[in-house]
Amino acid sequence: MTDSARTSDGPALLAQAKALLPRAAAPYSTFRVAAALEDASGVVHPGVNVESASLGLTICAERNALFGALARGATEFRRLAVVANRSKPVLPCGACRQVLMEHAPDLLLVLEAPDGGVEEIPLRDLLPRPFLSWSREP
């Protein structure tokens, strides 16, 4: 997947995320996670988790994708596919939910359902009452 990859449906976005899994750097946990973030123009931004021996310096795939997209000038986002090297679907952690909510409150999360199908969950369902600074409106 390249930064200019485009997608049009959930299964295609999940496939792009799955293709990124080998790039995840998870030498300590071996829990590889990959994310494919689709911006408003259809461009897909890749992200993988990158672990550090100093655990607090580790970055999740979801924030990695978001930060890269923001660095490239994207400001509006539609969907985020998240996959891991395990059989169960994986959801973003609390830190990722908070950061995603600040930059993409209407984001849809695209996950592989336990039956192998595709499940889409609005980010707002996972973080219905996010922290917002006093200077920002919800």
Active site residues: 62
75-78-84 Cα angle (round to 5): 105
Report the distance separating Cα 85 and Cα 88, nearest Å: 9
CB distance 49 to 24 below 8 Å: yes
Count the alpha carbons within 13 Å of 129 in the hemisphere toward its beta carbon.
0
Cα dihedral 114, 101, 50, 68 sign: positive
CB distance 91 to 126 below 8 Å: yes
